[in-house]
Structure formats: C-alpha cells, structure tokens
Structure 1
Amino acid sequence: MATLQFPMRLPADLLVELGELTGIHWNSWELEPVICDAIRRYMQPPAPAAQEQTSPTSGAGYQWKQLYLPEGTRLRAAFGRKPYFAVVTGTEIKCGERFVTPSAFANLQGGGNRNAWKAVWLRFPGNEQWVLADVARSRQQAAIARLFAGAEG
C-alpha cells in the first residue's frame, strides 16, 4: 500500500479530544492508525448486524468488572487495521461461534497481551456511537461516585 506524505491540519482541540478518548497522546504517531480507521469507517460504515429480538427489560447482559454490558452490546477491536466484532448474547460475549471474555476477545488476533480496556470499543444497544471500554468504565465510575455522594449526609 502506497503512503503519501503531506501535512494535514487538524484543530488542536480535536486532537486533544481524540487523545483523551483513545489514551494516546495527541502528538504521537500512534494516533495515525486510529485516524485512518475513523476515516475508513466514515467512508464505509459496517453493515448493521441483524438484531435479535430481546426485551430491553430482560436484564440479560454481561458484567465486566464495574461495567455492565446489556444484551445486544457490540464489541469491536482491530489488529493490523482489520476490525473484528463480537456481541453480548444473553449473559455471554459471542464472537463468531465462540464465547469469549473481553480479554480473550481483545487478544483473539495477534496473540499479544493487550489490555481489553484500551483495545475494545463498545456500542451499546440503541446507540450508534462507539466508545472505548476504558472511557465507558470511567463514566460508570463517575456516575456511581455521584450517586453515593448524594446519599452521604
């Protein structure tokens, strides 16, 4: 694959925001594949998966430490710029025909020791936005802290 070398101008606040979302410092070359992946996804979004008929009040889902993934949550990771996906089905995470943990899913490709919180992106049912698992966990922890802060007194 040919690579063209020319400068691109991006707003500083956008790069800072992207760095906060991914955990990669905004002036690092490590952001390049993230930016390329975002552009590719924008140009060719993945086809929507067939949604299984589930009741939103069924309570089914996967408890990943502090983070609850309701049934229908999609997981995405990538290796070598090639994405792979899984979905929460019942109380398990299913990737193809296999049931996996978030860590096993993050490390399905490449055989490395990747941190699932930093490598897995989540798309919750009814939401079109993908969010990094570590960001979702931080938001959940902040929500819980606010809940208990209001109970003190």
Structure 2
Amino acid sequence: MPTTALLELCDFLKARGSTLALDEALSCALRQWMAVQSSEADADRGYQWKRLFLPSGSRLRMQYAGQWFYAEVEGDELFFEGQSVSPRGMTQMIAGDGRNAWRDLWIRLPEEKNWNRASLLRRDLLKREQPRPVSPLEAVSAAARSMSEALTASKVLLDYVNRQSERLTERRVSKHRRKDDTLSDDCRFD
C-alpha cells in the first residue's frame, strides 16, 4: 500500500478519534470494499415475482402462529429452509393453502432498513407504471371503430323496431281458420 494512503488513513482515524488500529481499519475497509464489489456483480440478478423484481439479497418474512419465518433471494432464486421456492410456495410451506402471498409476506430490499408489505410494493409499482401515450393515428382509429360499431348497433336496433311495428294481418294458417273467418276473404274475391 502506498505510504501516502497509509498516512491519510492515520490522519483520518486520528481526526475522528477512532480507537481502531491501523491494521483493523485496513481489514474493515477491505471487507467493505469486497462486499460492495460482490453486490455490484449481483446487481442484475434477482427473483422476478410477477411484475415485482426482488434483487439478490432481498429478504422475505412471514408471521404465522406467533413465529417469524424468513427467506432470502440468492442469485435468481428465492430460498426458504434450503429449498428454492416461489413466494406462494413459501406461504404454503408455512401455513398451508388458503394464504395470499401478496398480503402475508413482508419484504426488505438490500439497501432498505424497513420491511414493507409485498402488496404495498406491488401497488406502488403499478402506480409508477405510466400508460403508453396514444398516438394521434391510434386515437382517430379507435374513435372510427367506436363510431362504426355504434352505427351498426343502431341499424340493427332500427331493423328490429321496424319489424315489430309492421302490422301482421293474420298469423293463422288458412286450413286452421274458422269458417266465419274465411267469409271476408270470399267477399274480397267477388
């Protein structure tokens, strides 16, 4: 290690009033640097739960019968009690069927200090997703389709009303008509 860096570290420790020895401070700094480097390597890895992405290092927990159960995302998988599971699988292993993983699970992301309910994280994610803006061409096309459908529906409705309003003179077939009903027909022929 360069002498100037060691002197800077000694001055820093002295200015802060630290009780750490120089070798302890160096080992702490190296461990922290290695942790940051490994977390950056895992930054793209994580578990995709529907639309919610849980980066590697995220922790999940669930309370059941007065006891907390924990799982962790390692790489691209969620591990609970040494098994790779889904969030629903975790809730089933803990409490059986009939549980809602979004409601029952709490999540702590790697950089966060607090636990958040999974349903609230999902709600916030959906709020942040903005609908795709509609182009003018798409808007006009959608309006034209709606107008066409409305005109077609109104034409069908008018045809139905016209058919119902037509006066039907006789519905009975002639062989089933009574004799006195046919008298007026005979008079028309004369």
How far does the alpha carbon of each residue in 1:46-87 deviate from its partner, in whole angstroms, 9 at most, with x for none? xxxxx8942266310111101111111100001101000001
1:128 aligns with 2:110: no
CA offset digits 1:1-31 (Å, max 9, x no partner): xxxxxxxxxxxxxxxxxxxxxxxxxxxxxxx
Residue of structure 2 in register with 1:64 after alignment: 49
Q: 1:152 offset after TM fit, Å?
A: 5.5
CA distance in 2, matches of 1:143, 1:63: 17
Bigger-Rg structure (1/2): 2
TM-score, normalising length: structure 2: 0.48
Q: What is the aligned partner in structure 2 of residue 85 from structure 1?
A: 70
State, as a whole percentage, how many aligned pairs show the same letter: 29
Q: Which has the higher contact order (CA 8 A, sep 6+)?
A: 1
1:119, distance to aligned residue in structure 2 (A): 0.5
Q: Which residue of 1 aligns with 2:80?
A: 95
- CA separation in 1, counterparts of 2:72 and 2:57? 6
Alpha-carbon distance in 2 for matches of 1:118, 1:61 = 21
Per the alignment, do residues 104 and 141 of structure 1 end up closer, same or farther by CA in structure 2, a change over 3 Å counting? same
| Cα distance in 1 between the residues matched to 2:82 and 2:129 | 34
Q: How many angstroms does 1:96 deviate by?
A: 2.4
Equivalent residue, structure 1, for 2:104? 119
1:127, distance to aligned residue in structure 2 (A): 0.5
Listed as ranges, the gaps of 5+ residues in structure 1 are: 1-50
Aligned residues: 100
Gaps of 5+ in 2: 1-34, 136-190
Alignment-derived partner of residue 141 in structure 2: none
- Where does residue 139 of structure 1 map in the other structure? 124
- CA drift of 1:104 comes to 0.7
| Segments of 4+ moved more than 6 angstroms | none
- Label 1:57 to 1:101 Cα distance change in 2 as closer, same or farther (>3 A): closer
Deviation at 1:107, TM superposition (A): 1.9
Judging by fraction of residues, say which structure has more helix: 2
What amino acid is aligned across from residue 61 of structure 1 in structure 2?
Answer: G
Q: Equivalent residue of 2:126, what SS?
A: helix
Aligned-residue Cα RMSD (Å) equals 2.1
Instruction: Give the structure with the higher percent strand.
Output: 1
* Partner SS state of residue 129, structure 1: coil
- What one-letter code is carried by the residue in structure 2 that aligns with 1:128? K
Residue of structure 2 equivalent to 1:74: 59
Give the whole-Å Cα distance in 2 for the aligned partners of 1:61 and 1:82.
26
CA contact (8 A) 2:57 2:72 kept: yes
Q: Distance in 2 between matches of 1:64 and 1:91?
A: 11
Aligned equivalents of 2:112 and 2:46: distance in 1? 16
TM-score with structure 1 setting the length: 0.59
- Taking the aligned partners of 2:107 and 2:92, their CA distance within structure 1 comes to 16
